Amino acid sequence: MKHGMNETMTAYDTMTTEAGTIAGKWLSDAGLRPTRQRMTLATLLIGDGKHRHVTAESLYADAQNSDEAVSLATVYNTLRAFCDAGLLQEVTVDGSKSYFDTNTVDHPHFYWEDENRLSDAPASELEIARLPKAPDGAEITSVDVVIRLRRTK
């Protein structure tokens, strides 16, 4: 919605503007140019200030409801750029399913198999006593923990 000089902004428009400001800073701080499409996706990802776990397909579906249409290919490319810039963490559940997490601090995840959903697991309850030694010429850069869950009947 565009506003003329004499029109006032609604609470929704103010919230959207604030979300856009947050998203623009998020991109700029990571050294990414805030294009319209990046701004749209960034606002969907972090505009409400809550951490999210999304797939490319779920973010694409959210974007279809926004004023700025983006293609699925653009969503994939943008998510890759956000990961490369350190804005998102990619969590691979199996060889074909990736989720993108706005919380980039190392933490474990629950994967709800019955719902195809990822959620944070309490990091304070995870204890890893020892890791295997990395092979010669390699170093461990991270450890991903995905705990698979199925609801009991």
Whether 9 has a pLDDT exceeding 50, the answer reads no
Reduced to 3 states (helix: H, G, I; strand: E, B; else coil), residue 137 is coil
Q: Is residue 123 part of a domain?
A: yes
Q: Is residue 80 part of a domain?
A: yes
* 41-93 residue pLDDT tens: 999 999 888 899 999 999 999 999 877 789 999 999 999 999 999 999 999 99
Two structure tokens written together for 60? 């694409």
In contact, 91 and 146? CB cutoff 8 Å: yes
Name the pLDDT band for 16 (thresholds 50, 70, 90): low
Helix %, strand %, coil % for the chain, to 5? 35, 15, 50
Q: Is residue 4 part of a domain?
A: no
Number of separate domains in the chain: 1
Half-sphere exposure of 90 (CA within 13 A, CB side): 16
Q: Is residue 5 part of a domain?
A: no
What is the pLDDT at residue 7? Answer: 39
In contact, 64 and 84? CB cutoff 8 Å: no
Q: Is residue 19 part of a domain?
A: yes
Q: What is the DSSP string of 88-151?
A: -EEEEEETTEEEEES--S---EEEETTTTEEEE--GGG------PPPPTT--------EEEE--
Q: Is residue 6 part of a domain?
A: no
Residue 114's CATH number: 1.10.10.10
Cα–Cα distance measured from residue 52 to residue 119, given in angstroms and rounded to the nearest whole number: 9
Q: Which of 65-69, 90-94, 118-122, 127-131 has the lowest mean pLDDT?
A: 65-69
Q: Is residue 3 part of a domain?
A: no
Whether 8 has a pLDDT exceeding 50, the answer reads no
What is the pLDDT at residue 1? Answer: 35
- The C-alpha angle 15, 21, 25, rounded to 5 degrees, equals 150
Q: Give the residue with greater pLDDT, 20 vs 85.
A: 85
Whether 27 has a pLDDT exceeding 50, the answer reads yes
**Host H or E run for residue 53:** strand 53-54
For 122, the domain range is 11-149
Q: Is residue 38 part of a domain?
A: yes
Name the pLDDT band for 2 (thresholds 50, 70, 90): very low
Two structure tokens written together for 153? 């009947």
Task: Output the CA torsion 61→118→47→3 (10° steps).
Answer: 20
What is the pLDDT at residue 145? Answer: 93
Q: Give the residue with greater pLDDT, 142 vs 15.
A: 142
Cα–Cα distance measured from residue 23 to residue 13, given in angstroms and rounded to the nearest whole number: 15
In contact, 142 and 106? CB cutoff 8 Å: yes
